[in-house]
Structure 1
Amino acid sequence: MRNLDELLKILKDSGIEVPSVVESAMKKVDVEDFTEHDSSGFYYDRPVVFLETPEGGVKTISAPHMIVTLLHNLELNLGQHIVIYGAKGGYISALVAHIVGEDGRVTVLDPSSEVITHISSNLRGYPTVECHVIKDNHDISIPELNRVLVTGQIQELPDWLSDGIIDGGFAIAPLGDRNSQRLLKIEKQDGELFETDLGSVIFGPLDISNSIVDTPSPTEMAELIEQVIELMNDAGLVEDNERNKLYDLVADLRLLPDDLPPPEEMDEPGEHPMMKLMMEKGEWFVHLWPIIQSMMENRIASFDTPKDDLDTSGHSDFVP
């Protein structure tokens, strides 16, 4: 299994800027302290689940390349007070706490009391971090917003956030619908908000209750893969022949009826026409699936590819 040093080297070699303060913080904070789920995928630059609810809600800690990108764009310095909207298991909050130091503060806000309870336990050793349920924001003191990191998909900034950003302050947020967002830097200057587009992203919903989704229909799966093709193409992660094969898969998915029962309702989920179609594509598709999974965050389950052998053709059912 890879270790953190190998992961950081791979990120740097791929052209991702890893600020020294972020690298130092990552070496002090173990992701394993923030999830009871398997974290080995983190070292292969994949998201890691930190919480599942009985209702089917799932929340993840983002893939390392995205964490590094978010913190780089947040322009962190010692002594700052950072607001994080969306808990992400507490891992990002711990990293930020190390970067802003003992004179800094981190306020974590999340719509879910279950998530806040979970991360408050994880962050007991971080006295500069406070965690609150945002639905109770009338009972808490939200500081002047100079730096705000939004860690999950939302359609637009809530009023308390956009109104609360001070002049010269900014938020980093993935805005858009469930299938596609733009990562925006939203800065306030002379009372007006100005956006800088940092690129296409696909985050899971900020609120864990909104992550409870049905298995995608063939048409929805086709749309999701199309979004991923665009992202992979922009990132240079897909060859021409693989991209063409993915588009062929999209076309085949659109030929399937949309009223098929979901795979989990079948005695043999692997016999579901959509599952069979994708598995028939063979090793080339299974090889790409970990990349697709990491870009889709928690919308689709993994094909359960072993971490050290991406050419294996096993798979697991689709789950939220």
Structure 2
Amino acid sequence: MDRYKHLREWMVETQIIERGIRDKRVIEVMKKVPRHLFVPEDIIDSAYDDRALPIGYGQTISQPYIVALMTELLELKGDEKVLEIGTGSGYQAAILSELAKEVHTIERIEPLATAAKKRFENLGIQNVKVYIKDGTEGIPEEAPFDRIIITAATPDIPEPLIKQLKEEGIIVAPVGERYSQYMLKAIKRDNELERHYLIPVAFVPLIGKYGWKEE
């Protein structure tokens, strides 16, 4: 465990702080959450590498810097209700659980959702709820949300998610083509999104009614 703590601190110093992440709460939680518990056992020694890693079913756990960047862009204060689209291994949701009041996360691939739930239970994380469904439709019965984060590439922000975001709420997502996107931070004002496009990124596609179709 000491070894992984050292690797986490190295990851934060070299991959996150050096690239400009400044939110102290984000930095501290990235040092705290055990990323190695969210990757397959056969690649556990790569958990703190500066890259995305495969987690099965054609999905990935995002590069640590991208996780930190998306989290910082959400501007969390601690009392927010957050919707995450794309649970994956659960790492991003675990980070969010330390920074927000409650996290609702959707995963369409049942084995990934089940494994993420077990990780949350093992780590004593009690403010994350996992749903198995089409993430592009959101969770209307739990709306509105203060923040929404999409961790898969979408051609545009799904209309149901815009409706489920509070006025002055923030949504962060990779938006663009199926295999290349730009990170978007958008603020909802007068039922419209004020959009700010940031760095180029490459995420796995968001599959669903309001996303991409399966190939």
What TM-score bracket applies, with the shorter chain setting the length? 0.7 to 0.9
Q: Work out the CA distance in 1 between the residues paired with 2:138 and 2:162.
A: 16
| Of 60-69 and 119-128, the range deviating more from structure 2 | 119-128
Partner residue of 1:109 out of 106, 110, 132 = 106
Contact 1:204 1:211 in 2 (8 A): no
- The equivalent residue for 1:35 is 39
SS in 2 for 1:123: helix
TM-score (norm 2): 0.84
DSSP-derived class of the 2:188 partner:
strand
- Distance apart, 1:180 and its partner CA: 1.1
Q: Is the 8 A contact 1:112 1:207 kept in 2?
A: no
What's the offset of the Cα at 1:132? 0.6
Q: Distance in 2 between matches of 1:49 and 1:59?
A: 6
What is the rounded CA distance, in whole Å, between the counterparts of 1:138 and 1:88 in structure 2?
16
Give the 3 Å change call, closer, same or farther, for CA 207–116 of structure 1 in structure 2. farther
In the alignment, does 2:113 pair up with 1:121?
no
Bigger radius of gyration: 1
Q: Distance in 2 between matches of 1:13 and 1:164?
A: 33
Question: 3-state SS of the aligned residue for 2:90?
Answer: helix
Deviation at 1:130, TM superposition (A): 0.4
Alignment of 1:159-308 (within 5 A): 159-207=159-207
What SS is found at the alignment partner of 2:206?
Answer: coil
Higher strand proportion (structure 1 or 2): 2
Matched-pair contact (CA < 8 Å) for 1:82–1:106: yes
Specify the alignment match of 1:135 in structure 2: 134
8 A Cα contact 2:38 2:89, kept in partner = yes
The 2-side partners of 1:40 and 1:29 are apart by 16
Q: Which residue number in structure 2 is paired with residue 46 of structure 1?
A: 51
Q: CA deviation at 1:106?
A: 0.4
- Counterpart of 1:39, as a letter, is I
The root-mean-square deviation of aligned C-alpha atoms, in Å, is 2.6
Report if the CA contact (8 A) 1:78-1:99 is conserved: yes
1:188 aligned partner, one-letter code: K
Paired residue total: 204
Residue 294 of structure 1: aligned partner: none
Whether the 8 Å CA contact 2:154–2:205 is kept in 1: the answer is: yes
For structure 1, the 5+ residue unaligned runs are: 214-320
Structure 1 residue 25: deviation in Å? 1.3
Displacement of 1:135 after TM fit? 3.1
Amino acid at match of 1:129: V
Partner of 2:13: 9
Deviation track 1:291-316 (CA, whole Å, cap 9, x = no partner) reads: xxxxxxxxxxxxxxxxxxxxxxxxxx
Secondary structure of the residue aligned to 1:70 is helix
Contact 1:110–1:207 (8 Å) recurs in 2? no
Name the CA distance, whole Å, in 2 between partners of 1:45 and 1:200: 16
TM-score (ref. length: structure 1): 0.58
Query: C-alpha separation between the residues in 2 aligned to 1:147 and 1:156?
Result: 17
SS, match of residue 185 in structure 1: strand
Cα separation, partners in 2 of 1:146 and 1:140, compared to 1, 3 Å: closer
Contact 2:36 2:47 in 1 (8 A): no
**Contact 2:16/2:65 (CA < 8 Å) preserved in 1?**
no
SS in 2 for 1:88: coil
**1:39 to partner: Cα distance:** 3.0
- State the Cα deviation string for residues 257-306 of structure 1 (Å, max 9, x = none): xxxxxxxxxxxxxxxxxxxxxxxxxxxxxxxxxxxxxxxxxxxxxxxxxx
Letter in 2 for 1:46: R
For 2:68 and 2:24, the matched residues in 1 are separated by 11
What 5-or-longer segments of structure 2 have no aligned partner?
none
